[in-house]
Amino acid sequence: MNGPRGRTSWAAATLLASALVAAGCSVGPDYHRPALGAPEAFRGPDGATAGASLGEADWRAVYADPALQQLIDSALRNNLDIRIAATRIEQARASLGGGFERQRVSKYVLLPGQTERTYDSATASGNLAFDVDFFGRLRRAHEAARADWLGSQYGRRAVAVALVADVAGAYFDLLALDSQMLITRRTVESRSKFVELTRAQHERGVASGLDVATAEAQLALARANVPDLERQIVQTEDRLSTLLGENPHPIPRAKPGERLPPAPELPATGLPSALLDRRPDIQQAEQSLVAANAQVGVAKAALFPQITLSGASGALSGTLSTLLTAPASTWSASAALAQPILNAQSNLYALELADARKREALLQYEKTVRTAFQDVADALVAYQRYAENAAELVTQAEALRRAESIALARYRIGYASYFDVINAERDLFPAELQAVQAERSEIGALIQLYQALGGGWQPDSTARRPPGSTAG
């Protein structure tokens, strides 16, 4: 139909198809976030505060140590788990058809008068297929694909949040071990001097052989702590190296002291409802629910007829030189209507399966949300109680240190017994180690709270958007 009448008919058919497409509706449920009843406040002391939350703070503001900042930055760039998660974000495929073929046929299948048995052929082609989406199957499929894409993005963010917490935790483990090593070496030095003093007292007849043996045993106990701490330090460095995506090596860090840096006062936590839009594992679980909800629509649309318009255009020639000439052109066009009859029962089963998967995704989303609230509540109570515990253990260590100094000074001038010194010194060493460990636990609770609030990744304004989305 090349005349005006044919063109008019074609235009009318096109307008009719466009109207039908525009009038088409998407079957299946539209997504609405389920109401899970977020609590008004996190459980715990000062569990919720209005305004900004610790989870919204950049990790550089939370972890101000320059050495730790370098480690976190390196881990976010090179960690293997981060790189693995990045590969899941988007997959794209593109193809272009065409080819050249040379063939030889049997002489027994030649046509009468045909003598040439060897042929060359060249092809170039392109294909286009369009499904008329009356019932929203493709729109629901696109919705599911977009949710999967966003879920992979949030999954990568969740890996980043956990990675920042792991690197910070390992770093403060190293600082705590360094502090304990410093305390141990000082204790070894002081006990060595005390052994020398006791031996001198024994030679003058003031101290007994039992006193000397006891002092030597206390010295050996302190020395035995050195190789164990060295082992832990090396293993922690190895663990941190792996988090950095590197082979085991020494880790640069702040100069050790006998006390760890003080943790800040209880930081702002924000409102629990904000956790749903900030914590990436919750967002990932919600996108899984969005995708499962959309797949229900896809399965429902499969119960209805499917109309497909397809076409192909290309060229076919016996030689490359004539491939792009007008006589070599080829084309085809077709339309098809598919009504699910034979596989109708199978499609019904597929719909039941999609419904079941949606229910599973809903339960998984609810579990993720409940677990998130628990994480924050646990971290809040741990942060406060560890802080109280650390303060008391530091006070105990300081008191024992004064008692040990007084007992040693009195012993040297003969006003205190040997056992007064031994008892004071024996209690001081483990108390100092416990105080450092308590401070490490307090900092660890802060790390856990920051992670539980979704802190550790920052949105990138230049990040790629999912296919089909527009800038807001």
Our measurement of the distance from residue 420's CA atom to the centroid of its chain's CA atoms, rounded to an integer in Å, reads 54
Locate all alpha helices (DSSP H) within 137-208, ordered by sequence: 137-203
How many Å apart are CA 440 and CA 389, to the nearest integer? 11
Residues 276-283, mean pLDDT to the nearest whole number: 88
- pLDDT at 125 > cutoff 90: no
Residues 109-133, mean pLDDT to the nearest whole number: 54
Domains identified in the chain and CATH numbers: 65-90+122-312+326-452 (1.20.1600.10)
CA angle 408–411–415, rounded 5-degree value: 130
Give pLDDT tens digits for 151-175.
Answer: 888 888 888 899 999 999 999 999 9
The DSSP secondary-structure symbol of 108 reads G
The DSSP secondary-structure symbol of 415 reads S
Instruction: Name the residue with higher pLDDT: 92 or 241.
Output: 241
- pLDDT at 470 > cutoff 80: no
Q: What percent of the chain has pLDDT over 70?
A: 70
| Integer Rg of the chain from CA | 37
- Among 462, 450, 463, smallest CA distance to 56 is for 450
Q: What percent of the chain has pLDDT over 90?
A: 32
How many Å apart are CA 215 and CA 453, to the nearest integer? 50
Check if the beta carbon of residue 42 is closer than 8 Å to that of residue 48. yes
Give pLDDT tens digits for 303-349.
Answer: 766 666 565 666 555 555 665 666 666 666 665 555 565 566 777 88
Give pLDDT tens digits for 410-420.
Answer: 877 777 777 78
Instruction: Name the residue with higher pLDDT: 80 or 254.
Output: 254
170: number of Cβ within 10 Å: 22
For residue 435, name the pLDDT band (cuts at 50, 70, 90). Answer: very high
- pLDDT at 91 > cutoff 50: no
Give pLDDT tens digits for 213-235.
Answer: 988 999 999 999 999 999 999 99
- pLDDT at 4 > cutoff 60: no
Residues 356-361, mean pLDDT to the nearest whole number: 90
Half-sphere CA count of 304, side-chain side, radius 13 A: 19
